[in-house]
Amino acid sequence: MDFYTLKTKCRTEETRRLMSQLCPVCGTSSHFECRTQDADIYRCPECDHCFSDPNSLKSFEDYGTEYYEETHQNWFKKPNIALFKAISKAIAYHKQDATVLDVGCGRGDLLKYLRRENPSLSLTGIDLISNEPVDGIEFLQTDILTTDMHQRYDVVMSFLAIEHVVDIQKFVSRLREMCVTDGIIILTTLNDRSVLYESAKMLRRLGYKAAHDRLYSQHHLNHFNVSSLKRLMKANGCSIVKTIFHNIPLAAVDFPSPSPALRMLLLCGVWATFAFGTLIRRTYLQTVICKQ
């Protein structure tokens, strides 16, 4: 790298550090934290929310066939049944014959599980991709942020979708609009202060960036922690009645490395972060059950 290129790069980094972005959760001026291979990352000094600057992305993630069959093939082959059971139990406790809406339902794994567990539920799924018809489930291919939904549901849930959304305030507002007055909202997302995330940040400081870049890739625009998610829901009129701290099945973890030895090493590392995170309630994922 010549002197001019190095000088330009340093100026660019310094410019980023002097710039600020408004936190999408609380509106506080937030400062540049780091640059990944995909985006500029900012963190809020007030609520600790971490987020990507959308203007820094070269492109937004394409959620087509490749996303499901190649990028995250293990994820979609090994659904989180333990979490599905917890959600099914929460719905049954609220109302046995509830009308249920899954926002960002993907391929409908959660809805199909609920259909098997409780056929009396009325199930609807919304996603940008199309789904094959399934008996007892209505699939809608649309965007909830731009489509009017006239029906309201007893239970509105969203499983790992909000972190992909730029306008999270509008997203939560739409969840509330589609939920009946005495209904519940169930929301699952990431935990930026989990042991897994903190380990990736430490490895980045030591020169290994792959894990950090994967967690903060272009398809994750918002990285919630427990307090920032609680603040977002409270600001939108939702009270959290329960928080479930959990991870994903180890079999669902996707590793980019083709080397079996390195994959095994990474798997052991992920297992350790999951185990320790569970012990101290700083797991990779969090699910909140809220009342209107």
CATH number at residue 131: 3.40.50.150
DSSP label at 167? -
End-to-end CA distance of the chain: 56
- Tally the domains of the chain: 1
> Which residues constitute the domain of residue 203?
3-291
CA distance 45 to 49: 8
CA distance 57 to 39: 5
Question: Per-residue confidence of the chain (292 residues) as pLDDT tens digits?
Answer: 443 343 334 445 555 555 689 999 999 999 999 999 889 999 999 999 999 999 998 776 665 555 555 555 666 678 899 999 999 999 999 999 999 999 999 999 999 999 999 999 999 999 998 999 999 999 999 999 998 888 999 999 999 999 999 999 999 999 999 999 999 999 999 999 999 999 999 999 999 998 899 899 888 999 999 999 999 999 999 999 999 999 999 888 877 666 788 788 888 999 999 999 999 999 999 999 999 8
Beta carbons of 188 and 287 less than 8 angstroms apart: yes
pTM: 0.88
CA distance 111 to 92: 14
